[in-house]
Every structure is written in structure tokens, then in C-alpha cells.
Structure 1
Amino acid sequence: MDSGSRKIYHEHGFDSRQFLEHYVSDKADKAHGEDSLKFPIENLTKIFTEGHIRGHVLIDFSLGSIIHHLYSACEFFKHIIVLKVSDRCILELKRWLDTRTGAFEWEHAAKLHVEIQGSSDQSHEKEEKLKSIIQHVVKINLEKENMTDPIVLPPADCIICAWLIGAISKDQDDYIKNLRKFSRLLKPGGHLILFGALDTTYYTVGKEKLHYVTYDEDFLRKALVGEGFIIDYCKVQKKVFESDLIDYSAVICISAHRK
């Protein structure tokens, strides 16, 4: 299947539960978990505890129904607003938020966060705290000027975008347009934290190969600077294993603030 015929996340969707099972479950490949589970938790813990990023509102745009990266934000923000492009991912997330039967199990991620943070909290306490500060889960329409129309969101102190922009962008120009669109939701001086996979062309969910725009660290840095950001932190971790699920050379975390 060539890249032109691959499905695109926000246009075609995917099986939200299978995505979680593949990439972030406690049954997922442990080496893979170094990049998809440990890397975001480790870097966000470092960014929040060592930096000055805090406030009232954090907006999260992330791929699928992942929430494990948000445990690190619990101590630094009063409200989290989660934005999703897919009804299936919203239903998956709300099943966990409402503690319904059959909800995806995130205890392994909560335990990992507690270990990395070195706190005395119990994993279930972390889960309940995160649930309490996720105030809204809102569907967005990327074609609209106000993506959440008719809802008008408050300006965010911080935006986290984990792997999403690469999955919804058809090429690098489209990536920059989407980056610009999302960053409009920031307050002046607000912070943007991006996670991405470098040199990727596809990722797999079930039997489907989905499109992911190819870019490298240099492109991402130039894109942020071009949109008026100052980069405060950057960490790249090279992959250490091969997988048929996704082709990438490394994962990246970049934190930046508006001039």
C-alpha cells in the first residue's frame, strides 16, 4: 500500500482499543513501551518539576485515547480540556473517566509515573486525581476556523500534543498549518509541548496502515521558530528495536513558549 492510499486518522478513524493495546498497554512490547509509555511520562515529569510551566488550563490534543502522559500535569494545572477528532476515541476515553465496565486499564501507567516521580502516592490516587481535573472532552472539526464551534475555549496556559499533528497532516506544509491552528489556543507567553516520531511514514492499527507525515528534528525546530516560539527543551531518544507496527528512527519531545 503506497502512502497516497493509506488512511488518515481524522478522516477515516481507527479501532481505538486496538491502538491502545498495540502501543500503550501493559501487554505491549516492553521495548516499545520505552518510547510510547516511559518517554512521555519521564520527559513531562522533568519539564513540569524543573521548569515554570503551570496555570489554570491545559489543553491536550493527542492521538487516539491516550491519557498516560497527563498524569504529570496533575500537580501543575487546575483544569485539563481534552480535544479529540474521533467519536470512537471520545467514547473510549469517557468509558475510563466514568469507570465503566470494560474501560481500558491504565494502572500500569499510573504506577510507572509514581516510580519516575518518586512520590508516595498510590497509583489509584493518581488515576482519581487525573479524572477529577479532566473537565471536558470535546470533539473538534479541523475544517472550521474555531475547531470546537459552537464552544469557545478559554486560552490555555499550556498545550500538549502527543503524536497527533503528524497523524492528521498530509505533508510538511500541512503540519505547519495545523501547528499554527492549534497554537492559536495559547495565551501570550503560553507553552506548547510536542511529542512526535521522527522519520516515520506509517503506523499500524490492526490490519490497517495509516499515514504519518515524515519529518526530522531540524524541521520541527524550524517550524516552531517560524511560528514565533522559543524552544526551551528538546529530548530525542533513538529507537532500539525494529517493529512492523510503525517505522520511525526516534521519538522527540520539544517544549517551547510564545515570544
Structure 2
Amino acid sequence: MDSSPHKVYHEHDFDSRQGLEQYCSDKSDMAFGDDSLKFVIENLRQVFAVSHINGDILIDLSVGSVIHHLYSANEFFKNIIVLKINNRCIMELKRWVDERTGAFYWGHTSALLQEKEENSDQFQDQEAKLRSAIQHVVKYDLEKENMTDPLVLPPADCVISAWLLDVISKGQDEYIRYLRKFSRLLKPRGHVILIGILGSTYFTIGKDKFHVCTYDEDFVRKALVGEGFIIDYCKVKERTAVSDITDYKAVIIIAAHKEK
């Protein structure tokens, strides 16, 4: 039995909008711009291009209602299917996809991508392109054999997961079990991209403290290899954020493909 005094992401309710405000906003007191936004956006386009990751279908399994890690994906995939753990995350994401009043503002993140492109004009409407690429937003259940039952998803060319394995896994054994489950969504020789935090034990949303699975770079490399993946790309950024709402030591982006 888990002895952590912290709440668990997929077992307890949380305010997905407040999570975005704390970790992804453009507010002057948001401490994580370099780590959770800039580092991710700058590296992911390189990941897709250098590792030759492309195809028809990308499945996204990520924390909360984040979308900025998908900007580059819509240049390499025709369709994006987003899976979310609860209705609050789904409603928050759909509010942005449908351009409803009160949707979370992501303009500062699309601007970060434009800054890095030589021909920034073609990236002016990055958010609109991403909205068009997101074909479905589907609720899932981690404990079901088919997480989206009764819906059967088509096999994906790539699965991308941003920070989700960190917060749903109560320990390293569960991390590997869920990684195995996510990899079943892939076509043969499909790709996986993981974004995570190293050396963390908790993150906070509002007044609530949530559990994070503690691991290091060596662990995630071995976990991927153990599940039959060949690693194509790995980049680690040491923490620069000054805040006590989470205690991670570094951010990692790692991409791999199935050997068979």
C-alpha cells in the first residue's frame, strides 16, 4: 500500500485550470517558463525532425490540459488523438480547441516557437493548426485493459506523454507497467516521446500536494530498453525555477522507437 501522505493525480480531484496557471501561464510570477515551456518547445521540433518521427496518428497522454508540447507535432502528423483522465481536463482542453470565452491563453507559448524559426511567418497561426489537428479528445481509464473502452483506437505512429507517467506511478514498478501499457497503443516500430521530471517527490496544485514518482535518467533509459525500445534522443535540463510548489531537480525529454 502506498504510504505517501500526498494525493494521487488520477485518484483525487484537482483543478486543471489552476494547474495551468501555476506551471504554464504568462504571469510574471510563474517560475517555470524556462523549464516547463521553453525547454520543451525548443527541443520537441528537433526531436521530431532528427529522429524522423512522423506519420498519420499521434496519441497524446499528458498531464492536465497542457497543449504546448504538441505545436511541433502537427507539422509531422495528420491526426492527433488526445487522451485525458477526467472530465475537468477534457472540458478545459475543449474550451481552448473550440475557442470558447474563458479558454486558457497559450499565445506566449506559440510565440516561443516562432522565435526559434527562421521563417516565422509560416508559424504565425500555430494554435489554429493545432486545433485542426486535434481530431478527438477521449477519456480513458488506466485500470482497463483497453483504456478507452468501448472505443478502440487505431494503432499510433507515435505516443507522446508529458509528465503523466511521473504523476500516475506510485513507484518505479508502476512506471514500467504504465509505460508498457502506453506502448501497446503503438504500431510495430512506433515511436514514444516522454517528457518528465527527475528527482521529484511532489507537485502542488492550489493547497493540495500530489505524489510524484522519483527516478533518474538512468532509470528511464533502462525502462525503455527493457520494454524493447531503442533510444534515439535524450536531453536533460537542470532546474532553474525557484519555487517550492514542486521539488524536481531536472527536466528530461527522451525519444525512442520500438525495435520490433
* TM-score computed with the length of structure 1 as normaliser: 0.96
Q: Which moved more, 1:122-131 or 1:139-148?
A: 122-131
Alignment partner of 1:179 is 2:179? yes
- Which residue is equivalent to 2:50? 50
- Which residue is equivalent to 1:135? 135
What does the per-residue CA deviation read over 1:122-179, in whole Å, with 9 as the maximum and x for residues that have no partner?
6661111100010000000011000000000010001110000110011110110000
- Which residue is equivalent to 1:206? 206
- Which residue is equivalent to 1:237? 237
> Amino acid of the residue matched to residue 164 of structure 1?
L
Partner Cα distance (2:203, 2:7) in 1: 10
Matches within 5 A, 1:1-259: 4-27=4-27, 29=29, 31-121=31-121, 125-259=125-259
Moved segments of 4+, more than 4 Å: 28-31
Q: Which moved more, 1:114-123 or 1:227-236?
A: 114-123
Partner Cα distance (2:15, 2:23) in 1: 12
Paired-residue identity, %: 66
> Amino acid of the residue matched to residue 189 of structure 2?
G
Partner Cα distance (1:131, 1:232) in 2: 28
Per-residue deviation at 1:28?
5.6
Contact 2:7 2:209 survives alignment (8 Å): yes
> Which stretches in structure 2 are left out of the alignment for 5+ residues?
none
Partner Cα distance (2:226, 2:51) in 1: 23
Contact 2:64 2:89 survives alignment (8 Å): yes
What does the per-residue CA deviation read over 1:85-133, in whole Å, with 9 as the maximum and x for residues that have no partner?
0110100000001111100011111111111233333666111110001
What does the per-residue CA deviation read over 1:218-252, in whole Å, with 9 as the maximum and x for residues that have no partner?
11001000000000110000012431110011000
Partner Cα distance (2:104, 2:177) in 1: 33
Q: Secondary structure at the match of 2:200?
A: coil
Report the number of matched residues. 258
